[in-house]
């Protein structure tokens, strides 16, 4: 074999110490944002049937969950509201009410854990009786009128103490409108974590169980993106940069790692991957059936999202990952 020339790549893989020395990508607890579902009512701790280990929590149970997350070293949470069905209306009043679920939960969390970053999901779909992310007229989701309600929602969330606004509605101009609204209200220091590249995906199914926010008619394809499109993602991302976004979210993550890399290569802002409910549930189901090693699969998946270009990851696995990372130290 002396006459054959080839590279000896295995030299850098021959021991754990050597592999650690040349490792290129690292997953940290500080990279994680933990989603929480705040439910109306009292003494509520409902496990989401399609998302084992994820719960709808009423205000009186919320702080116990937040305390566990902070003890594990998690630095940020993102809040979603789950109101009573009878409290929903055509314009999603609960989204921008000062007594809304996200607003009250934010105040509660910030009073007890002022250093924890609270990200507020800024959308109407959980609060509208039709389940869409904007205002509906004659069966059409109207864009510009929806922006007015989204601005009101963002301002009310910041007034409650939210550190970061995360608008997820995918209306055209939503970042520009919210940035202008926050600035006019005196909140020019509040960053916007835009759901910039959000596809109309089947991976969201379990989330709609968790948030009780499925559309009551039609679908969201007139405002969320076609999964087949790549260049459209760059158009969406670049317009949000111009409009004033401070972070860009790519959602979903697992089937869109090429998009994460494209956005990372073209935009000089922090990139957030949303490891969505369907991605979580598939792994959980396989693990419960004993088909996979959950810990190894999750850590490999999230490391892959970091390698693809994500700076941060929103994930329902946040507590598990934080615990596993502690065990490895």
Rounded percentage of the chain residues whose pLDDT exceeds 70: 96
Single out the catalytic residue among 152, 198, 284, 306: 198
Q: Is 45 a catalytic residue?
A: no
Q: What is the pLDDT of residue 211?
A: 63
Structural domains in the chain? 24-328 (3.20.20.70)
Share the mean pLDDT of the chain: 93
Q: What is the pLDDT of residue 85?
A: 84
pTM: predicted TM-score of the whole model, two decimal places: 0.95
Q: Is 198 a catalytic residue?
A: yes
Q: What is the pLDDT of residue 60?
A: 96
Kindly tell me if the per-residue pLDDT of 172 is higher than 90. Answer: no
Q: What is the pLDDT of residue 212?
A: 65
C-beta of residue 241 within 8 angstroms of C-beta of residue 269: yes
């Amino acid at each position: 074999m002396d006459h054959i020339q080839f590279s000896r790549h295995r030299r850098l893989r021959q021991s754990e110490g050597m592999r650690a020395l040349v490792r290129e990508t690292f997953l940290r607890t500080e990279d994680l944002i933990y989603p929480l579902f705040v439910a109306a009512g009292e003494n509520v701790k409902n496990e989401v049937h399609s998302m084992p280990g994820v719960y709808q929590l009423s205000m009186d149970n919320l702080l116990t969950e937040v305390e566990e997350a902070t003890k594990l070293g998690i630095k940020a949470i993102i809040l979603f509201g789950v109101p009573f069905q009878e409290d929903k209306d055509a314009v999603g009043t609960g989204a921008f009410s000062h007594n809304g679920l996200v607003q009250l939960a934010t105040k509660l969390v910030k009073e007890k854990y002022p250093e924890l970053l609270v990200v507020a999901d800024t959308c109407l779909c959980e609060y509208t009786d039709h389940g869409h992310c904007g205002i509906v007229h004659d069966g059409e989701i109207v864009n510009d009128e929806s922006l007015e309600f989204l601005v009101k929602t963002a301002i009310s969330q910041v007034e409650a103490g939210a550190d970061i606004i995360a608008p997820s509605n995918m209306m055209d101009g939503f970042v520009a409108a919210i940035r202008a609204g926050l600035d006019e209200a005196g909140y020019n220091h509040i960053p916007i974590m835009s759901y910039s590249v959000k596809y109309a995906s089947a991976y969201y199914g379990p989330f709609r169980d968790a948030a009780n926010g499925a559309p009551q008619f039609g679908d969201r394809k007139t405002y969320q993106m076609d999964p087949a499109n790549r260049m459209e993602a760059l158009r969406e991302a670049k317009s949000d940069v111009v409009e004033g976004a401070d972070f860009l979210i790519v959602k979903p993550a697992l089937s869109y790692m090429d998009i994460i890399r494209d956005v990372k290569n073209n935009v000089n802002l922090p990139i957030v991957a949303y490891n969505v409910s369907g991605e979580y549930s598939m792994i959980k189901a396989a693990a419960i059936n004993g088909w996979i090693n959950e810990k190894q699969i999750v850590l490999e998946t999230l490391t892959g999202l970091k390698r693809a270009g994500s700076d941060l990851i929103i994930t329902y696995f946040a507590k598990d990952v934080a615990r596993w990372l502690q065990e490895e130290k």
